[in-house]
Structure 1
Amino acid sequence: MNSKQPINCLSSSSHIHYHFYVLVIFLTFTAISAGNETDYQALLKIKSMITQDPYRALTSWNNSLHFCDWTGVTCGRWHKRVTYIVLESRGLEGSLSPHVGNLSFLRKLSLSNNSFQGVIPDELGRLYRLRLLTLEENKFTGVIPANISGCSNLEELNLSKNKLVGSISKAIGFLSKLRVVSLQDNKLTGGIPPFLGNITSMEVFSISRNPLGESIPDTIGHWKVLKEFHSDGCNLYGTIPHSLYNLSLLTRFSSYENQLIGSLPSAIGAMLPHLVNLQLWGNQLTGPFPSSITNCSRLTYLEMDQNKFSGKLKIDFAKLKDISYITLGHNDFGSEEADEMKFIDSLMNCTKLNTLDLQNSKFQGVLPRSIGNLSNQLNHLSLEENQLHGTLPRSIGNLVGLTKLSLGTNKFIGSIPSTIGNLQKLQGNIPTSLSSCTSLSSLSLKGNLFQGMIPSSLSSLKGLRTLDISHNNLSGQIPQFLVQLSLEYLNLSYNDFEGEVSTLGVFANASTISVLGNNRLCGGIVELGLPNCKERTKHKKDVPMFIIVILIASTLCTIICLAYACCKKKNKSKSSQSSTIKRFMKVSYNQLLKATDGFSESQLIGIGGFSSVYKGILDEYKDRFVAIKVLHLQNQGAQTSFMRECEAWRNIRHRNLLKIITSCSSVDFQGNDFKALVYEFMPNGSLHDWLHSSERTSRLNLLQITNILVDVASALDYIHNHCIPTIIHGDLKPSNILLDDDMVAHVGDFGLTRFLGTSSYQNSSTGIKGTIGYVPPEYGLGSEMTSSGDVYSFGILLLEVMTRKRPTDDIFNDGLSLHKFSSMALLDHVIDVIDVNILNVYQEDENFMQNTEANSKKINECLASIVNIGVSCSVDSPSQRMDIKKVVQELHHILDALQSI
């Protein structure tokens, strides 16, 4: 018996322990269950205070699913407590429930780009596990809650783009783990508080566009790991604290549109060597501009205009190979030294330079020939309002990428070099500042996109002998002062002038005047062949108005398209013959019937809702194929589509847009209306064919794809940002991207075009607005067509190219879309979603195989960057989509990286 006693004692002890553990487990599960119920009720309270849910994001928030499976909700794996709530860009309206403070396991709360109103609840301060709080772009009011200090583990705080007032809460100073603070675009006052310097983990601080006032505190020098500092438009004054220049990791420093004074340290380039953006324009900074900025080899944006910098500009730009934006205008540079403009020489290495603005800065001296060595990416060059003298160098004609060139109010002499005619992308009105060139004898502005009327200020050019402003978009009546000038040659062809042509002065001799392609002109000398103005008026009275409208519409469209075709520059050896064919070529129904072998099915290369496209050969084009787009006029909307497309081609001209030859507005042999557009034939077909046609035995490689994407993005940038009026394509998709012999992409089919700011051909709210899968979500809600809609379509197109999956493929259902499919891959392994054919060319390339690991890494980075652009362009919220200018810039960077392999 005694020998068994210890065993009994042990059994008793084990029994007690067993019951204890059971009790602990029971209590634990009871606590978890209670916590789950708390989270469930808190979520329902949050939902109850949301008054609008247009995209039905909260439809799943009901008892048919466990709350961990609700849209936007993520739970921990074991305890099933809410850890993430992410409801971005859902169109939600209402207020944020204080019950959010009951979600005690919450680590991330992101409600950006919605319409939440009211105050930010103090109860957020209970969330001590919270690491990321993003309430950006809502309508929150009131002050930053003082209880925010309770979020002791918070790493990122983003309250930007709301209506918050008051000063920056002292509570933020206690959040010692903060890395990112973004408070821009509110109504905060009281300056940048010095206590923020206590947050030594700060990496990004953005407070721009708040009426803060006061000066930048010296304590920001405590932020030793700071990478970005943004305080634009904050009414700041005083000097920039010297401690800021000790933040050697700083990459972006912007504090423009303030009242900062003082000078920059001469060694700023050595102190801040990692700068990518330096934007201090619109202040009152003085002294010489530090030449040490050349040490910032990664610099992309240098915006220092509208200050009071003085002295000779001594920057050696040769090391700044990534710089794209330089604005130094409206300063007091100028040294009276002979080589004052020598810094232009060093800019030739800046191959990514997009903008160079040196206007109104007291520069003097001769403009060096090296100006012509600047980047072919340069589209904005401003040298106006300086004291430059001498002649304009002929090399300026090398800057073929320019869309804006400003040279007025200088002391240039001599004639404008004929090479300026190479600048065929120049556009916006003819500058009135030309009137100051009183000794000018020859002026050629042909082949650009000038619009508006001929400025009356040109009447002061008494020495002018030759004026050529043909092939533009000028309009209005021909001004009478041209009669008074001693012109020996005047070319006004292919514009949109109207009214009576004079018979005096230069207009008295047919050999000295050309007015072709202005179909609204009348009168003039007999040799010009223009209709009599009185007869035109008489005919208008005799002919029924509806017939006049029809005739004018069809004739105008034909002439417009012909005029556009005449503008296109051809191969020099064939330019004379080609332009003659285009200028006078008119095609009939019979000619098009013959060209397509009776609109034979064997010649059919595409069909759509409004048209069929045939391949054919016109006699005037000899052995060259053309593409003939025949409108299905029996289909509702086809007539409008034809007129839209003609109107679009009247306003646009770009290497990445499909080239039109002519149009036909006639009747067929049965007397039915017939309308067609004739384009240059694209021998490599459409992008859709390359992606999805089984007849294609080869596929596109990554370099070809990137070039195509650059082409398409450049075309969008042109019609969105460089056309007046702005043009919205409305139906961007792979089948509308055509490829020529050199695989250069051309955007076509402007049948759904919208012209912003005009009443012509506007879309109704119920009209067709594109193709399913490529149409942005806001169009489905009745929104008008916008440029951001085209950007969305471009994003989907890009992702389709990279994944070779259509947005309407069967796998995209139950909440999964091409955008989401690609977006998730960015977080994990992007190469898993990339079409395998894309990489084939590199695997067969010897140079690639010699350094496979390094090149593979570079290619993977490029792939991720491209997909990220597509994802950024195709987000649901129009305001958050990537700007098309930025898209073009990023794609060029990627292209440069690929070409270096």
Structure 2
Amino acid sequence: MEKFLLKNQRIIMLIKFLVSIVVLTVTFLSTSLNLASASGSSETDRLALLTLKEHLIGGNSPGPLFSWNDSLHFCYWHGIRCDRNGRRVIGLELGGLELAGSGTISPSIGNLSSLRVVNLSHNSLHGNIPVELGQLKQLRLLDLTNNSLHGNIPSSLSNLSSLDFLNLENNQLEGIIPDDLGKLWNLQVLVLMENNLSGTIPSSIYNLSSLRYIHLGSNQLSGELEPETGFSFSKLEVLYIGGNQFTGKMPRSLANISSLEHLDMHSNGFSGSVPENLGKFQNLELLAIDYNHLGTGEAGDLGFVSSLTNCTRLRDLAIHINRFGGVLPDSVANLSSQIEFLYMGGNRISGKIPEGIGNLVNVNQLHLGENLLTGKIPSSIAKLQDLVRFDLSKNHLTGEIPSSIGNLSRLSYLYLDGNNFEGKIPLTLWNCREMFIMDLSGNQLHGRLSNQLIGAFQRLITLNLSHNSFTGVFPSDIVKSKDLVELYVDNNNFTGEIPGQIAEISALRILHMQGNLFNGSIPPSFGFLRAIESLDLSANNLSNTIPVELQKLPFLVSLNLSFNQLEGQVPREGVFKNSSRFSIMGNQNLCGGIPEIQIPRCFEDQEEKNKRKALVSIIISISVASILLFLIVIICWIKRTRTELIDIPEALVMTACCSRVSYKELLDATNGFSASNLLGEGGFSTVYKGILHGHKNPIVAVKVLNLRNLGAIKSFGVECEALRKIRHRNLVMVITSCSSIDFQGNDFKAIVLEFMSNGSLEKWLNCDSLRHLSFAQLLDIAVDVGNVLDYLHHDCESAIVHRDLKPTNVLLDDDMVAHVADFGLAKIVSDAASKLGFEQASSSVINGTIGYVAPEYGMGGPASPKGDIYSYGILLLEMITGKKPTDDLFHDGSSLHNFCKTALTSSRKLKEVVDFQLLKQINDHPDKSPKARHDGEQNMNISGEDIIWECFVAFINVGVACSIEVPVERMKIKDAIKGLHAIKGVYHHIINQPNQWNSQLN
């Protein structure tokens, strides 16, 4: 027995050993097979990605896909996410890279079989959606938003059983929505908006109970919405189908989707009545059924509004532009107190506005315009403290505009036009300082307009007071509305002269003042309305001649001066060149003009001619004598001071400039030096905008000296002396000066300068509006400023160092020509010092502005032209990067110069440096095709986009070379100007798209 047991034990041990061998063998083989399989899958993914890359970039520069090469494992490529083992690609996240604009999606994407996320949105991709996407069984998210994909939605997407997010928004897809998409049982988000899809919504979609968000808006879908089997959406929160061609009635079964929060059916062809069971939507926040054919125009159309009072979370109700009729129900006042947007305009709703409307305390926009409402505006409107937009236009409302409306301090848009309101505009509207658009036209309002009231609306864009019965002088304080674009005051009873101050509203495009009782002349200052497009002054009592300044308005396309008492010659240039663009009928004493208008020629009296000739002769004689006297004084002065630095005594300060004006003239010109006329403020002076009537260029800048500052007199003298010695097209011109006392007996000194309508370069570089400088404009400005420095340093009798060159001191005129200003810190260097390139004496005080001042000045170094060149270099770098030298980005020894110098070593870094607005100009450039370029002995193909980029790089190189820390190593100003001219030449060639060109940048 023992032997048997021992033998069995040996057999068992042998069996265990053999089993172990087999297990180890199988395990080894299995592991080898798995490793081989994994290795093969990894290689498949790598090859698939490389093929995908070639299609995505469309043969262009790799750009963001630069890292997609064999120097890195593909798991480290940009936008790639791998599994934990680093073997398989599970995420392709390339959204928003704007890859090439001509790329496509390769079918090889179907080989990335482990993908769970595909995001190729915002890349301007073309071509079809590959059917191979249907092979990605594990895919959960597919986002192809904002491309240019076309063709049909492939039905193979129905194989993506794990998909829970599908977004194909904003492409050019067409055809029908595949019925097979109803197989995506896990789908939660379906977005197909903004395509060209047609047909109906497949019934299978209605059965996807997992759906939470559906957006099919802005397509060409049609048919009725009611599904045969009803809606099976148990979790649906958002349903957007607006902007299609659906017809029929709104299904009552919609109310069964109890989870619905947003229902948007706007801009379709729905008709009939609105179901009155919508109150079942307990979570409803938005209901938009506007721009349909709902309602019958009869009583009872608004019965559904009462049911909506149960929707306590309702924030947005839009039923405007339909056919709803009947009386506005009182239940409107019982809608959710959370409601913010209430649009009911453009219907046939009658009755009065309920007093309870004041219950809607959170309403932000209230639109009841274009209905048949009667009665008065309820005083409870004062409770709507958050109201921003209030539209009651084109109704039959009566009574006065309630003074309580002045409590709405946030009111920005007020439309009361086309009613029967009477009385005066309530002065309480003065509190609505945020007003952008105010339209009170087409009523029976009367009385005088208060200057205080009109002057309060300083943010107005549109003011329409036309077709009322206003009287008195039109308020000149309208000039405080600096952003005003449209002003309509026509068909009233305004009297007096037209305020010339209107010319200060530089943004004004439409000015209609016809049908009033205005008299006097047309203000010549209207020649400064550079943006004006339509000007109507007809049917008034205007007299005298037509100002020739009107023919200089570049955008004026409609001018009506008919039925006045104008006389004299009709101009022949500008708008007066085209008879279809101006009208002067009803003025009996006009003559001349273009032949097409067929009025008598002008004949000048011979005696008048002789008088004029005699007057001209006298003026010329006096002028010549004055110039000779002035030259004698200058020559004497130069001889006295030729070999020493200029130090101007106070007694000579005011004689340095031109003829004088009085304190009172400047006080009147600047509206009492009012804050509304303030242009800028510094340590030594304050600058105001003013109008000096009777001068050749009436709109001026008045620089008032701050005599409380001990350095102001010296700064003032330096500026006067510097400007006396120089004349250049890119310098701000001195018009006149004033040295007097004010009405309190205090000393008063001021310089009157040429006004620059486009403000400072600083304003444009740090502009939050839609207006931005193009690269061509930056080049012109850079050359203009460089020419000024070249003139100051080399072409003046003694070299002049500006010492405070920065964007705020570069001003732009009507034509965007740059002018350098503010010579308050300038130094006039003697002949000997000029030859050495610096001022002989230095100061412990650093003069200039932090960030722009040369480093050597901080160490007590002398003022020199090279200091200006440093400031110029920093100015160029700020122009191309959009970053100030004092930006928070620059700290711990970093600077704008180093930032740009480092970036020149890498194209990727350069794209981080260049201002995004300029980068956008590259992307918007239509020429993407290669061009033949001849560089030395080589011919190469390069795209217009690359050429523009080379221009940017060359511009940065000039800025860096000028702002080198060591003065002697800085680029000479003449070389800088030469380099910028070369850049301009190349840039203008590529903008004009020549077939061939030669590089000049090297």
Whether TM-score is above 0.5 comes out as: yes
* Residue 48 of structure 2: aligned partner: 42
- Distance in 1 (CA, whole Å) between partners of 2:276 and 2:761 is 67
Structure 2 counterparts to residues 838-849 of structure 1, below 5 A? none
Offset of 1:98 from its aligned partner?
1.0
- Distance in 2 (CA, whole Å) between partners of 1:251 and 1:313 is 24
Deviations 1:27-62 (A, max 9, x none): 111111111111111111111223156671211111
Deviations 1:65-95 (A, max 9, x none): 1111111111111262110101111122322
- Distance in 1 (CA, whole Å) between partners of 2:923 and 2:109 is 33
Q: Residues 265 and 201 from structure 1, CA distance in 2 versus in 1: closer, same or farther, beyond 3 angstroms?
A: same
8 A contact 1:440–1:464 mirrored in 2: yes
* Residue 73 of structure 1: aligned partner: 80
* Residue 776 of structure 1: aligned partner: 916
Would you say 1:308 and 2:308 are equivalent positions? no
Q: 1:384 aligns with which of 393, 400, 405?
A: 393
RMSD: 5.6
Taking structure 2 as the reference length, the TM-score comes to: 0.53
- What is the one-letter code of the residue matched to 2:247? Y
Offset of 1:424 from its aligned partner?
3.4
8 A contact 2:321–2:347 mirrored in 1: yes
* Residue 412 of structure 2: aligned partner: 403
Q: Residues 16 and 358 from structure 1, CA distance in 2 versus in 1: closer, same or farther, beyond 3 angstroms?
A: same
SS at match of 2:47: helix
Mean Cα deviation higher: 307-316 or 100-109: 307-316
- What is the one-letter code of the residue matched to 1:591? L
Offset of 1:21 from its aligned partner?
1.1
8 A contact 2:460–2:484 mirrored in 1: yes
Q: Residues 443 and 772 from structure 1, CA distance in 2 versus in 1: closer, same or farther, beyond 3 angstroms?
A: farther
8 A contact 1:494–1:516 mirrored in 2: no
* Residue 355 of structure 2: aligned partner: 342
- What is the one-letter code of the residue matched to 1:25? T
Offset of 1:480 from its aligned partner?
13
Structure 2 counterparts to residues 196-211 of structure 1, below 5 A? 196-211=205-220
Structure 2 counterparts to residues 816-827 of structure 1, below 5 A? none
* Residue 263 of structure 1: aligned partner: 273
Structure 2 counterparts to residues 468-867 of structure 1, below 5 A? 468=475, 470-471=478-479, 472=481, 485=493, 487=495, 493-496=501-504, 566=674, 568=676, 591-592=705-706, 595=709, 597-598=711-712, 775-776=915-916, 779=919, 782=922
8 A contact 2:136–2:160 mirrored in 1: yes
Structure 2 counterparts to residues 343-492 of structure 1, below 5 A? 343-347=356-360, 349-350=361-362, 353-376=363-386, 378-427=387-436, 434=441, 436-438=442-444, 440-444=446-450, 446-447=454-455, 448=457, 458=466, 461=468, 464-465=471-472, 467-468=474-475, 470-471=478-479, 472=481, 485=493, 487=495
Would you say 1:191 and 2:204 are equivalent positions? no
- Distance in 1 (CA, whole Å) between partners of 2:214 and 2:98 is 27
8 A contact 2:761–2:811 mirrored in 1: no
- Distance in 2 (CA, whole Å) between partners of 1:133 and 1:73 is 15
Q: Residues 48 and 783 from structure 1, CA distance in 2 versus in 1: closer, same or farther, beyond 3 angstroms?
A: closer
* Residue 662 of structure 2: aligned partner: none
Q: Residues 62 and 476 from structure 1, CA distance in 2 versus in 1: closer, same or farther, beyond 3 angstroms?
A: closer
Offset of 1:778 from its aligned partner?
5.9
- Distance in 2 (CA, whole Å) between partners of 1:27 and 1:630 is 69
- Distance in 2 (CA, whole Å) between partners of 1:99 and 1:71 is 18
- Distance in 2 (CA, whole Å) between partners of 1:243 and 1:136 is 32
- Distance in 2 (CA, whole Å) between partners of 1:69 and 1:477 is 57
Q: Residues 779 and 480 from structure 1, CA distance in 2 versus in 1: closer, same or farther, beyond 3 angstroms?
A: closer
Q: 1:61 aligns with which of 68, 76, 81?
A: 68
How many residue pairs are counted as aligned between the two chains? Answer: 626
Q: Residues 152 and 519 from structure 1, CA distance in 2 versus in 1: closer, same or farther, beyond 3 angstroms?
A: closer
8 A contact 1:209–1:234 mirrored in 2: yes
Structure 2 counterparts to residues 218-367 of structure 1, below 5 A? 218=227, 219=229, 221-269=231-279, 271-286=280-295, 287-288=301-302, 289-310=304-325, 311-316=327-332, 320-335=336-351, 340-347=353-360, 349-350=361-362, 353-367=363-377
Q: Residues 253 and 505 from structure 1, CA distance in 2 versus in 1: closer, same or farther, beyond 3 angstroms?
A: closer
Offset of 1:195 from its aligned partner?
1.5
Q: Residues 630 and 86 from structure 1, CA distance in 2 versus in 1: closer, same or farther, beyond 3 angstroms?
A: closer
Structure 2 unmatched runs, 5+: 1-5, 296-300, 530-540, 550-566, 572-611, 624-657, 659-665, 679-685, 693-698, 716-729, 732-740, 747-758, 763-781, 789-804, 829-850, 852-878, 889-909, 926-1002
- Distance in 2 (CA, whole Å) between partners of 1:306 and 1:478 is 28
* Residue 213 of structure 1: aligned partner: 222
Would you say 1:100 and 2:109 are equivalent positions? yes
- Distance in 2 (CA, whole Å) between partners of 1:364 and 1:53 is 65
* Residue 779 of structure 2: aligned partner: none
Mean Cα deviation higher: 633-642 or 251-260: 633-642
- Distance in 2 (CA, whole Å) between partners of 1:303 and 1:277 is 8
Mean Cα deviation higher: 255-264 or 222-231: 255-264
SS at match of 2:36: helix
Q: Percent identity?
A: 25
SS at match of 2:20: helix
Q: Residues 477 and 772 from structure 1, CA distance in 2 versus in 1: closer, same or farther, beyond 3 angstroms?
A: closer
- Distance in 1 (CA, whole Å) between partners of 2:669 and 2:286 is 44
8 A contact 2:176–2:200 mirrored in 1: yes
Q: Residues 525 and 284 from structure 1, CA distance in 2 versus in 1: closer, same or farther, beyond 3 angstroms?
A: closer
- Higher-RCO chain (CA-CA 8 Å, sequence separation at least 6): 1
Deviations 1:223-271 (A, max 9, x none): 11001111111111111222221112111111110011233333423x1
Offset of 1:731 from its aligned partner?
5.4
- What is the one-letter code of the residue matched to 1:68? C
Offset of 1:479 from its aligned partner?
12
8 A contact 1:317–1:346 mirrored in 2: yes
Q: Residues 370 and 104 from structure 1, CA distance in 2 versus in 1: closer, same or farther, beyond 3 angstroms?
A: same
Q: 2:184 aligns with which of 145, 154, 175?
A: 175
Q: Residues 559 and 64 from structure 1, CA distance in 2 versus in 1: closer, same or farther, beyond 3 angstroms?
A: farther
Deviations 1:623-674 (A, max 9, x none): xxxxx999999668979866768999xxxxxxxxxxxxxx9977659899xx
Q: 1:127 aligns with which of 124, 136, 156?
A: 136
Structure 1 unmatched runs, 5+: 545-550, 552-557, 571-577, 602-609, 612-618, 623-627, 649-662, 673-687, 689-727, 738-769, 786-901
Q: Residues 439 and 172 from structure 1, CA distance in 2 versus in 1: closer, same or farther, beyond 3 angstroms?
A: closer
8 A contact 1:475–1:495 mirrored in 2: no
- Distance in 2 (CA, whole Å) between partners of 1:27 and 1:486 is 95
Offset of 1:393 from its aligned partner?
0.5
- What is the one-letter code of the residue matched to 2:273? S
Deviations 1:825-862 (A, max 9, x none): xxxxxxxxxxxxxxxxxxxxxxxxxxxxxxxxxxxxxx
Deviations 1:355-405 (A, max 9, x none): 2211012121110112233224x3321111111111110112222333321
8 A contact 1:493–1:514 mirrored in 2: no
8 A contact 1:366–1:388 mirrored in 2: yes
- Distance in 2 (CA, whole Å) between partners of 1:294 and 1:304 is 15
8 A contact 1:55–1:90 mirrored in 2: no
Taking structure 1 as the reference length, the TM-score comes to: 0.59
- What is the one-letter code of the residue matched to 2:73? H
Deviations 1:327-357 (A, max 9, x none): 110122223x6xx43242212x21xx33221
* Residue 676 of structure 1: aligned partner: none
SS at match of 2:127: strand
Deviations 1:426-472 (A, max 9, x none): 346x85x72x33562334572336999998x95x6567345436324
